């Protein structure tokens, strides 16, 4: 390696370590030299939340929380200060390791693509092109949706500190939102700020999926799997949503790959990758628990089945490292928002055992319909695809990965049974790369090349038709809402009373977008003179003294008489 390049990159790493040192010293110094009330009022003034002072003081930033934050940051600073000499000494070897791994990865990727034949390159390129066109169409066609707006208003727009500590609802996909905070430093386009991370992850995941399946199975398995993944409506839709589901899917698939590789070679690098990816997955969405537990069960089952339990002992250290890393990253959330904010999801209620048993068959069928994007028979079709793969795979590597895939499908069903919950369908999006393997397996099972090509063409036609059928441009609610809010912001409102939840979120979003200090109440305050009232059509709320300006099937909007 060129000594000049080594010196340059190692200097950058040292600079990052020293910058981190300044940060970890500055934070506790500031907290220990600032009184609780001064800190509280500085937060209130900075975020302009004078009306939320009571809630902030009594729920989130209590004196106890402030004291705990002081000690937590002080301990973190001491640990980092003690570690910094070793980090500086190791910076050069760390640089060599990072650059070596990076160039080795680039070389492997280049080699894998160079092994493709001309017609295989054309097929891959065409699928990639159509997939990008679909994603770009969705990117600009799908309006800014309520979950994205919620994430932007309450987390991303508030910066890194709030995103890493405030957890009022499962909407805070923390690591994904932190990436959006990072992008926000360079651009001010809200659509790009929120959607760019998912868009990039979808492209990276597609390339990883194709290369992995090609290397370990066959080209036709890889290209059919890549086609299914690339044209999947759910994957393309969430690839342009400012949410953490694509990052969750990528972490889940990478964990799947690592578990598969670990069965044949127990390298230390796989343990580090297992730990790092698991921590990122949990820090994005806690439902990463499902693929994580499935991976653990597979590894234990596989090594016990092969009467070789020694590799499991190495994994236990990785499990402990994952637990420690996750607890460390979520510590700010526990301090500010409380443990219950994370473990109690009020949006997914626990059912009685009888209700869960009665509901689970239809729920699983509907989940399969959602995953495959078909109108009916999704459960039967998914079982058929899975069973077909069980019989056509004969090689050892294929059977191992098939077992891994089935465990990843079945274990989450047991886990939601223990929880007695029926989660939103979208959390199962991480199963699509697994299903794509089964789709690809069917293709590779055909003996004749012309049958494989016919299968791929039929799959492409079916997926495109399914995409067009699913995307019905049914965003009338958002069109009417944006029209109503545009009328409101023709003047600069100061106080708005709003009964509709989505309008409430978007009023706050419009306030940030227009740089307006806007007070939006969902509970009527008698002493407040509201400029606008946004009422539900069936509302009995008195609008005396107000004129009607907008009426649709969702809300009625009134403006105060002048």
pLDDT tens sequence across 497-518: 999 999 999 999 999 988 888 8
* pLDDT tens column, 294-344: 999 999 999 999 888 888 998 999 999 999 999 999 988 888 887 777 776
Higher pLDDT, residue 5 or 185 = 185
The number of angstroms, rounded, from the C-alpha of 143 to the middle of its chain's C-alpha atoms is: 19
pLDDT digits (tens, 9 = 90+) for 530-542: 999 999 998 888 8
Question: Nearest-CA neighbor of 15 among 99, 87, 120, 117?
Answer: 87
How does strand 495-498 pair with strand 532-535?
parallel
**Average pLDDT across the chain, whole number:** 89
- Which sign does the torsion angle of CA 524, 148, 41, 517 carry? negative
Structure confidence at residue 1 as a pLDDT band (50, 70, 90): low
> Which residue bears the tokens 């007695």?
420
Residues 150-178, mean pLDDT to the nearest whole number = 89
Instruction: State the average pLDDT over residues 22-49.
Output: 83
Residue 347's pLDDT band (cuts 50, 70, 90)? low
For the segment 164-192, the average pLDDT, to the nearest whole number, is 91
When pLDDT is cut at 50, 70 and 90, the band that residue 210 belongs to is very high
- Strands 495-498, 556-560: parallel, antiparallel or unpaired by DSSP? unpaired
Binned at pLDDT 50, 70 and 90, residue 346 comes out as: low
The answer on pLDDT for 195 being more than 90 is yes
- Say what the pLDDT of residue 175 is: 95
Percent of residues, the chain, with pLDDT higher than 90 = 53
pLDDT beyond 90 at 416: yes
Beta-bridge mates of residue 547: 559
Mean pLDDT, range 392-421, rounded to an integer:
91
What is the per-residue pLDDT for 502?
93
- The answer to whether 455 and 220 have CB atoms below 8 angstroms apart is no
Q: Look at residue 57 and tell me whether its pLDDT is greater than 90.
A: no
By percentage, how much of the chain surpasses pLDDT 70? 97
Q: Per mean pLDDT, which of 111-120, 218-227, 463-472 is the most reliable?
A: 218-227
- Whether residue 390 is predicted with pLDDT greater than 70 in this model: the reply is yes
Residue 376's SS3 state is coil
Residue 350 DSSP one-character state: P
- Domain segments of the chain: what residues? 3-94, 118-470, 476-560
Confidence of residue 472 (pLDDT cuts 50, 70, 90): low
Closest alpha carbon to 431 in 282, 176, 235, 277: 235
Give strand pairing partners of 550.
557
Give the span between the Cα atoms of 296 and 320, in whole angstroms: 13
Q: Which residues of 503-522 are buried (b: 16+ CB within 10 A; e: fewer)?
A: bbbbbbbbbebeeeebbbee
**Mean pLDDT across the stretch 107-136?**
89
User: Among 49-58, 90-99, 436-445, 446-455, where is mean pLDDT lowest?
Assistant: 49-58
Q: Do the Cβ atoms of 160 and 178 come closer than 8 Å?
A: yes
For 107-170, the three-class secondary structure string (H helix, E strand, C coil) is: HHHHHHHHCCCHHHHHHHHHHHHHHHHHHHHHHHHCCCCHHHHHHHHHCHHHCHHHHHHCCCCC
Per-residue confidence (pLDDT) for residue 105, from 0 to 100: 79
Query: Looking at residue 2, what is its pLDDT?
Result: 66
By the 10 Å C-beta count (0-12 exposed, 13-18 middle, 19+ buried), 481 is classed as: buried
How much is the pLDDT for 344?
67
> For the residues 201-223, what does the mean pLDDT come to?
94
pLDDT tens per residue, range 213-256:
999 999 999 999 999 999 999 999 999 999 999 999 999 999 99
Instruction: Provide the pLDDT for residue 178.
Output: 95
pLDDT in tens, 361-377: 999 999 999 999 988 88
| pLDDT value for 452 | 92
Candidate from 251-260, 273-282, 409-418, 520-529 with smallest mean pLDDT: 520-529
pLDDT of residue 101: 77
């Amino acid at each position: 390696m060129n000594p000049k390049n080594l010196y340059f990159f190692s200097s950058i790493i040292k600079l990052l370590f020293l910058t981190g040192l300044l940060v970890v010293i500055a934070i506790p110094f500031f907290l220990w030299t600032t009184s609780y009330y001064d800190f509280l009022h500085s937060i209130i003034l900075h975020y302009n939340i004078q009306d939320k002072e009571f809630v902030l003081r009594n729920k989130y930033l209590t004196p106890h929380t402030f004291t705990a934050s002081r000690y937590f940051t002080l301990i973190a600073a001491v640990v980092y200060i003690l570690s910094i000499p070793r980090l500086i000494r190791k910076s050069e070897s760390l640089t060599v390791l990072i650059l070596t791994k990076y160039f080795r990865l680039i070389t492997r990727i280049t080699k894998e693509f160079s092994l493709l034949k001309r017609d295989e390159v054309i097929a891959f390129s065409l699928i990639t092109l159509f997939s990008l066109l679909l994603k770009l169409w969705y990117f600009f066609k799908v309006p800014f949706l309520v979950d994205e707006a919620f994430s932007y208003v309450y987390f991303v727009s508030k910066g890194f500190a709030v995103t890493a500590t405030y957890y009022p609802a499962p909407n805070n996909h923390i690591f994904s939102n932190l990436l959006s905070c990072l992008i926000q430093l360079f651009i001010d386009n809200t659509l790009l700020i929120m959607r760019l991370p998912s868009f990039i992850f979808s492209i990276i995941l597609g390339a990883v999926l194709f290369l992995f399946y090609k290397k370990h199975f066959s080209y036709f398995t890889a290209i059919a799997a890549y086609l299914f993944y690339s044209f999947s409506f759910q994957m393309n839709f969430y690839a342009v949503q400012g949410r953490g589901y694509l990052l969750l899917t990528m972490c889940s698939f990478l964990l799947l790959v690592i578990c598969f590789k670990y069965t044949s070679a127990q390298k230390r690098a796989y343990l580090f990758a297992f730990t790092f990816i698991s921590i990122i997955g949990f820090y994005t969405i806690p439902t990463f628990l499902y693929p994580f537990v499935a991976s653990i069960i597979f590894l234990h089952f596989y090594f016990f089945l092969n009467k070789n339990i020694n590799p499991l002992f190495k994994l236990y250290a990785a499990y402990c490292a994952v637990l420690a890393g996750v607890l460390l990253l979520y510590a700010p959330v526990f301090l500010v928002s409380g443990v219950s904010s994370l473990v109690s999801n009020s949006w997914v209620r626990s059912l009685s055992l009888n209700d869960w048993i009665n509901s689970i068959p239809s729920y699983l069928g509907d989940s399969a319909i959602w995953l495959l994007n078909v109108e009916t028979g999704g459960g039967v079709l998914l079982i058929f695809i899975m069973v077909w793969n069980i019989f056509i795979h004969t090689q050892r590597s294929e059977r191992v990965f098939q077992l891994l895939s089935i465990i990843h499908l079945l274990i989450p069903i047991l886990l939601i049974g223990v929880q007695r919950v029926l989660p939103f369908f979208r959390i199962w999006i991480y199963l699509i790369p697994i299903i794509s393997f089964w789709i690809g397996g069917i293709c590779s099972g055909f003996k004749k090349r012309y049958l494989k090509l016919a299968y791929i063409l039929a799959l492409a036609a079916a997926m495109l038709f399914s995409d067009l059928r699913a995307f019905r441009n049914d965003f009338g609610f958002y069109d009417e809402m944006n029209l109503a809010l545009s009328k409101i912001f023709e003047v600069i409102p100061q106080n708005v009373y709003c009964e509709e939840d989505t309008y409430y979120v978007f009023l706050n979003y419009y306030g940030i977008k227009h740089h307006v200090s806007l007070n939006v109440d969902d509970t009527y305050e008698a002493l407040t003179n509201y400029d606008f009232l946004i009422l539900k059509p069936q509302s009995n709320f008195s609008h005396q003294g107000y004129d009607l300006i907008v009426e649709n099937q969702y809300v009625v909007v009134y403006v105060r008489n002048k």
